[in-house]
């Protein structure tokens, strides 16, 4: 399996070191996998001859579902 080196802000690294029970490499693999699945989904959605109105509605709902939790007060 290939290795990857990441640069992290010091404060984030300090918080991660405080939780040695977490397998951070697995957390990273899972995040990479999830992001790639999301990108592949968008690729499939946009691969057709043209974006239909229903495709645009579905894409908008998906984006809203992913973004809205970050902006809740």
- Residue 71 above 80 pLDDT? no
Residue 3 in domain: no
Residue 8 in domain: no
Residue 14 in domain: no
Residue 17 in domain: no
Residue 59: give the domain boundaries: 25-71
Residue 64 in domain: yes
Mean pLDDT (whole number) for 5-12: 96
Distances (CA, A) of 50 to 4, 44, 45, 53: 37, 12, 10, 10
pLDDT tens-digit readout, 25-49: 999 999 999 999 999 988 887 787 7
The model carries a pTM of 0.62
Say how many domains are in the chain: 1
Mean pLDDT (whole number) for 8-13: 97
Which helix (DSSP H) or strand (DSSP E) does residue 36 occupy?
Answer: helix 24-46
- Is-contact 28 8, C-beta < 8 A? no
């Amino acid at each position: 399996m290939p290795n990857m080196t990441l640069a992290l802000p010091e404060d984030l690294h300090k918080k991660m070191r405080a939780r040695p029970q977490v397998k951070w490499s697995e957390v990273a693999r899972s995040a990479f996998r999830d992001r790639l699945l999301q990108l592949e989904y968008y690729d499939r959605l946009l691969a057709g001859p043209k974006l239909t109105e229903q495709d645009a509605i579905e894409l908008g709902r998906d984006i809203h579902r992913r973004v809205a939790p970050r902006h809740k007060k």
